[in-house]
Structure formats: structure tokens, C-alpha cells
Amino acid sequence: MQDACSSALLQTGRSGQTGDCETGLLAPAIRISHARQAFRVIRERPDTLRELFARFLRHKVSYYSFDAVRDVSFEVPQGQTLAILGRNGSGKSTLLKIIAGVYKPTGGRVEVNGTIAPLIEIGAGFHPELTGRENILLNGLLLGYSKRQMLEREARIIEFADLAEFIDVPVKQYSSGMYMRLAFAVAIEVDPDILLLDEVLSVGDLSFQQKCVERIKRFHDSRKTILFVTHSLDYATSFCDRAILMESGRVIGDGNPQAVVDLYQTLLGHECAPASLH
């Protein structure tokens, strides 16, 4: 019986309804325990790639370790919308990439219960030589869906992205806004349990931004789990159930969105005018 319970806690299903055998409660959508992400930074920049390899082979490359994320621990209950705030370089995007599985943390543990759709970098998961239509299928396969399932969703994805005229053009010819429109359309159409968003509303025209906001509202109302890296304080206070504030790779604030926003403004040292999404 104990083995069956342990197995159930490790399973990840499309419904996201992973339970706790002893308490009957749902496991958190995301659990992060003492996560650390370190990168090696070269102190001096060689003039050429050949010079870099030569120094590396002679063990003369000087570098230091930089912790982008430092001892971060928190849980995100299923159905919660969490805003991640912080200045540029505070570790927000790195944290999201750890959760998405792009980075394997240098230390600590990250558990994700449920299917996940990450929008964390423009063009991530796209093959530049493939068309938009082909990349819809590719992204769906990467997210664990079958070819048949993606073909059933294809028309809705193209309509939402408003890319019918360019859907059979290689995506290397797309603008950054077109990239994001297609990526967002795929992510919301596959209906994940957990949606990771990294400043996606900063790309695209006002009309598409409003469509994204409306769809995010629907995800929130249907109790999907959403993690949103944003500089929009208005979004954090109007949509999110909770916010965390990062600084120098650490979480320095966690709780009520307005209280965390107030702490962020204090950190910045002046009153920030919230950027409206409406």
C-alpha cells in the first residue's frame, strides 16, 4: 500500500489531480525546495573562438560562478495565479526556466504535478526552417499530444493567432510579434494544467494583447495554475491571487499581491506608475 501511494505522488496527469494518499488533499501544482541555479561566467573575453578553445585546452580560461537563483523554496497550490516580480537580473526568468525544465537546477528539487505549457522565450520550441503550420504540429508533439489531436486544434490555433496569410511561411521570416502570437495560441489551445508566461504581453499589438488578457482571465476563472513573470504591477494586483518578489536570485517577498507590489515600489525607491493592460 505504501508503494502505491508513493507511485501516485510521482505521477503527472493531464487533469493535474494528483492527490495525497494520507490526507486526501491535492498535491501542489509546483513545489520548489532550496533551488539553486549557478552559471559559469568567463572573466575575460577572448578575441576569437579559436583563442577561447586554445585557452580552454591550456586551462587558462578564467571564470567565476554566478548564482542566478539562490536557495529558493515555495509551493504553488493547484489553481493559483502567481505573479513573479523583480528588477531585471533578479532571477525571475531563470526560475521560470527551472520550473519548465529548460534548466536542471544546480541544487535543490523542483516538482511539477500536471501538464505544463511554457511561454518563456520568443521562438522557443520552433524550428526556423519549418512553416507555422508545421511548427504547430511540432510544438504539440513536444507537449505530448498526438498528430491527430493537433490537427483537430490547428484551425482554432491559426484563427486565434490571426496568421492565416502567413501560416505556410517558414517562421524564420516571422516578426517577434508573429512568433509570440503563434506560441501563445498553441499554448492556450492545448489546455495545460499549468501555464508559464514570461512577459508575453509585452509583444504584439494592442488588439492581440487584449485577446491574450481575456484568455488568461478564462484560464484563471477555470482554476488553472498560472505563473506570470511581469513588470506590470496592475496585472499583479488585478488578476493574481499571490505575488512573490525576487532580488539577487532570492525571494524577498511572498504573499498578498498589493503588499508585495508595495514592497517592490519601496525597493525601487520611488512610486511606479502601474502599466494598465485594459
Identify which has the larger pLDDT, 271 or 167. 167
Residue 219 lies in a domain: yes
Mean pLDDT of 226-243: 91
Residue 69 lies in a domain: yes
**Residue (of 137, 135, 203, 123) closest to 170 by Cα position:** 135
Q: Could you tell me the residue range of the domain that residue 54 belongs to?
A: 2-115+192-268
Q: Is the pLDDT of residue 22 over 70?
A: no
Residue 6 lies in a domain: yes
Q: Is the pLDDT of residue 114 over 80?
A: yes
Give the per-residue SS3 of the chain.
Answer: CHHHHHHHHHCCCCCCCCECCCCCCECCCEEEEEEEEEEEEECCCCCCHHHHHHHHHCCCCCEEEEEEEEEEEEEECCCCEEEEEECCCCCHHHHHHHHHCCCCCCEEEEEECCCEEEECCCCCCCCCCCEHHHHHHHHHHHCCCCHHHHHHHHHHHHHHHCCCCCCCCEHHHCCHHHHHHHHHHHHHHCCCCEEEEECHHHCCCHHHHHHHHHHHHHHHHCCCEEEEECCCHHHHHHHCCEEEEEECCEEEEEECHHHHHHHHHHHHCCCCCCCCCC
Residue 142 lies in a domain: no
Q: Is the pLDDT of residue 203 over 70?
A: no
Confidence of residue 45 (pLDDT cuts 50, 70, 90): low
Residue 44 has a pLDDT of 62
Residue 43 has a pLDDT of 62
Residue 263 lies in a domain: yes
CA dihedral of residues 114, 36, 248, 30 (deg, nearest 10): 20
The one-letter code for the residue type at 228 is F
Residue 16 lies in a domain: yes
Confidence of residue 84 (pLDDT cuts 50, 70, 90): very high
Residue 197 lies in a domain: yes
Q: Is the pLDDT of residue 262 over 50?
A: yes
Residue 35 lies in a domain: yes
**pTM (two decimals):** 0.76
State the CATH number of the domain containing residue 77. 3.40.50.300
Question: In total, how many domains does the chain have?
Answer: 1
